[in-house]
Chain A
Amino acid sequence: DVKVTQSSRYLVKRTGEKVFLECVQDMDHENMFWYRQDPGLGLRLIYFSYDVKMKEKGDIPEGYSVSREKKERFSLILESASTNQTSMYLCASSWAVGGALHFGNGTRLTVT
Chain B
Amino acid sequence: KQEVTQIPAALSVPEGENLVLNCSFTDSAIYNLQWFRQDPGKGLTSLLLIQSSQREQTSGRLNASLDKSSGRSTLYIAASQPGDSATYLCAVHTGANSKLTFGKGITLSVRP
Chain A residues in the interface with B (C-beta under 8 A):
4, 6, 40, 42-43, 45, 48, 58-59, 90, 92, 97-98, 100-106, 108
Partner of B43, one of A45, A59, A90: A90
B45 touches A103 (CB 8 A): yes
Closest residue of chain A to B42, judged by CB?
A105
Partner of A101, one of B41, B91, B103, B104: B91
Min CB gap B42→A, angstroms: 6
Q: Please indicate the chain A residues that have their CB under 8 angstroms from the CB of B43 in the complex.
A: 4, 6, 90, 103-106
Closest residue of chain B to A48, judged by CB?
B99
- Further contacts, 5 of them, CB under 8 A, given A92-B44, A101-B44, A106-B42: A6-B43, A40-B104, A42-B102, A48-B99, A103-B45
A106 touches B46 (CB 8 A): no
B102 touches A58 (CB 8 A): no
Bound complex: CA of A59 vs CA of B99, how far in Å? 10
Q: Please indicate the chain B residues that have their CB under 8 angstroms from the CB of A59 in the complex.
A: 99
B41 touches A106 (CB 8 A): yes
Partner of B102, one of A43, A48, A100, A105: A43
